[in-house]
């Protein structure tokens, strides 16, 4: 619907801006007396009030000194799945390890069963609750992976639900096909045959329906080998889809370097990443997505090599990894806190990890992630005194308002 001219321009005044523009002079790209002007849903100016002479006809929103950041971006989630894994949590507390449970047919396999059995409406309803939790803390863009269907119809069903969330909820949804998340029970001992299915009929169906914006693989001892991963990447590239990888989470198989050699948007988890992998990512411009929720929930002890990533200039993004098995986490704010407490990110790096660098991990660095003219007007407005508060607190939500496409 065409907006009336007076409403097509919206202006936020009396704001402090954390623009998160890279290479800005001030930390967080901060601007004390700031103003954001949006026209038709896009930022036309974000900067010091003093640089704006006249505003003209517009709807004016007085922020009363609150901070505005870019809308948060959760660039790695598995939000759409059936059932839950609380009983597995109980088993693990009695001593079973995540890998033991997975090898015994629990773990991902139990979520696959529940996801296959669920209708689209049921999957939509359960994912929608989790999505609402993200939105309530300022998320304006979320990536959602498939990977709990593991047959063609179920993978299509999960991705269709993710697309529907993007249509029906005020949030931008990017979808990622993760058919290579686990070898389903019916292919036990025949992972090569399953990879044939993923690279052939599954990918064909998903691309024909335009259901995926990217393709991901879980490269790990309990999942897919580097050779199998390379097959999926080759098939994805042939369809013109960007790639991502779950790599070096539980062991170092060289997955991140492999993904970098395919020009991957991101390599995610990375606890066991070595310097050669870091260098390969730096050369390819592959973003490191770290996932402290899974590290915490699995009580891992090996941390991603943050200092090496910094030294080699690899952009670091941060995400919830929201999933039923290893990261039942739907709080971006707690994720930022964990990024700082567990991985020793600075609060500024944590916020960059859920804005500018998360945008890059999705290939959307020209569209979202900073407060800059030309980008979509996705904002989070916070009742805080300084941006570090976003990562500092645990279990407190200071979101005042959330703006998506200027609305």
Nearest distance from residue 323's CB to Fe ion, in Å? 6
249 part of the interface to ligand DI6, by CB under 6 A:
yes
Question: Judged by CB under 6 A, which of 126, 286, 323, 355 binds ligand DI6?
Answer: 323
Nearest distance from residue 21's CB to ligand DI6, in Å? 32
Nearest distance from residue 324's CB to ligand DI6, in Å? 5
Question: Judged by CB under 6 A, which of 107, 242, 315, 406 binds ligand DI6?
Answer: 107
402 part of the interface to ligand DI6, by CB under 6 A:
no
Nearest distance from residue 391's CB to Fe ion, in Å? 21
Q: Answer for the pair 324, 101: CB distance below 8 angstroms, yes or no.
A: no
Cα–Cα dist 49/189, whole Å: 64
| Greatest CA separation for the chain | 69
Q: Answer for the pair 246, 258: CB distance below 8 angstroms, yes or no.
A: no
Nearer to ligand DI6, 251 or 405 (CB): 251
- How far CA 303 is from CA of 179, 299, 330, in Å, comes to 27, 11, 21
- Segment contacting ligand DI6 (CB under 6 A): 203-211, 254-262, 281-289, 324-332? 324-332
List of residues 6+ apart from 134 with CB closer than 8 A: 72, 74, 77, 142, 171, 320, 322, 330, 332
249 binds, among Fe ion, ligand DI6, none (CB under 5 to 8 A by kind): ligand DI6
294 part of the interface to ligand DI6, by CB under 6 A:
yes
How many residues lie near Fe ion (CB under 5 A)? 1
Burial class of 3 by CB neighbour count within 10 A (0 to 12, 13 to 18, 19+):
middle
Cα–Cα dist 259/265, whole Å: 9
324 part of the interface to ligand DI6, by CB under 6 A:
yes
Nearer to ligand DI6, 36 or 75 (CB): 75
355 part of the interface to ligand DI6, by CB under 6 A:
no
Question: Judged by CB under 6 A, which of 12, 28, 45, 218 binds ligand DI6?
Answer: 218
Nearer to Fe ion, 174 or 379 (CB): 174
Cα–Cα dist 405/171, whole Å: 9
Nearest distance from residue 89's CB to ligand DI6, in Å? 11
Cα–Cα dist 79/282, whole Å: 29
Nearest distance from residue 332's CB to Fe ion, in Å? 15
List of residues 6+ apart from 126 with CB closer than 8 A: 81, 82, 118
Cα–Cα dist 91/15, whole Å: 49
Q: Answer for the pair 248, 255: CB distance below 8 angstroms, yes or no.
A: yes
Strands (E), 163-258: 172-180, 214-218, 243-247
How many residues lie near ligand DI6 (CB under 6 A)? 12
Q: Which helix H or strand E contains 358, and what residues bound it?
A: helix 356-361
Nearest distance from residue 182's CB to ligand DI6, in Å? 8
326 part of the interface to ligand DI6, by CB under 6 A:
yes
Nearer to ligand DI6, 88 or 372 (CB): 88
321 part of the interface to Fe ion, by CB under 5 A:
yes
Instruction: Report strand pairing: 139-145 vs 67-70.
Output: unpaired
- Segment contacting Fe ion (CB under 5 A): 59-67, 184-192, 321-329, 399-407? 321-329
Nearest distance from residue 268's CB to Fe ion, in Å? 6
Kindly list the strands in the beta sheet with 172-180, ordered across the sheet, starting from the edge strand earlier in the chain.
Answer: 72-74, 139-145, 172-180, 214-218, 243-247, 266-269, 287-290, 316-318
Question: Judged by CB under 6 A, which of 149, 325, 353, 369 binds ligand DI6?
Answer: 325
- Count CB neighbours of 210 within 10 A: 10
Interface residue list for Fe ion (CB under 5 A): 321
Interface residue list for ligand DI6 (CB under 6 A): 107-108, 111, 181, 218, 246, 249, 294, 323-326
């Amino acid at each position: 619907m065409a907006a009336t001219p007076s409403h097509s321009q919206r202006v936020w005044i009396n704001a402090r801006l954390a623009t998160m523009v890279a290479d800005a002079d001030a930390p967080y790209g901060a601007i004390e007396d700031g103003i954001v002007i949006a026209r038709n849903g896009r930022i036309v100016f974000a900067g010091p009030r003093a640089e704006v002479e006249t505003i003209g006809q517009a709807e004016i929103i007085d922020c009363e000194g609150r901070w505005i950041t870019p809308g948060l971006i959760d660039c790695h989630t598995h939000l759409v799945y059936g059932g839950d894994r609380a009983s597995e949590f109980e088993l693990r507390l009695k001593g079973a390890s995540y890998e033991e449970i997975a090898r015994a047919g629990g773990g991902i396999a139990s979520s696959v069963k529940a996801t296959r059995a669920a209708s689209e409406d049921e999957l939509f309803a359960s994912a929608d609750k989790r999505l609402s939790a993200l939105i309530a803390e300022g998320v304006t863009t979320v990536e959602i992976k498939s990977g709990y269907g593991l047959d063609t119809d179920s993978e299509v069903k999960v991705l269709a639900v993710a697309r529907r969330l993007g249509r029906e909820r005020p949030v931008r949804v990017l979808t990622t096909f993760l058919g290579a998340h686990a070898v389903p029970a019916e292919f036990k001992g025949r992972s090569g045959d399953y990879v044939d299915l993923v690279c052939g009929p599954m990918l064909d169906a998903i691309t024909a329906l335009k259901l995926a914006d990217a393709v991901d693989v879980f490269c790990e001892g309990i999942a897919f080998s580097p050779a199998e991963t390379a097959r999926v990447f080759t098939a994805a590239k042939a369809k013109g889809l960007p790639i991502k990888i779950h790599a070096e989470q539980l062991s170092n198989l060289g997955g991140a370097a492999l993904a970098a050699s395919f020009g991957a948007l991101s390599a995610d988890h990375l606890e066991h990443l070595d310097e050669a992998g870091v260098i390969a990512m730096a050369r390819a411009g592959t973003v490191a997505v770290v996932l402290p929720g899974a590290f915490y929930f699995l009580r891992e002890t090996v941390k991603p090599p943050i200092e090496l990533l910094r030294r080699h200039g690899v952009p670091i993004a941060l995400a919830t990894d929201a999933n039923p098995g290893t990261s039942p986490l739907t709080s971006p704010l707690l994720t930022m806190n964990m990024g700082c407490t567990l991985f020793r990110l600075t609060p500024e790096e944590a916020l960059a990890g859920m804005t500018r660098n998360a945008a890059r991990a999705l290939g959307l660095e020209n569209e979202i992630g900073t407060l800059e003219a030309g980008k979509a007007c996705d904002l989070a407005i916070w009742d805080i005194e300084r941006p570090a508060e976003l990562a500092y607190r645990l279990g407190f939500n200071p979101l005042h308002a959330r703006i998506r496409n200027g609305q």
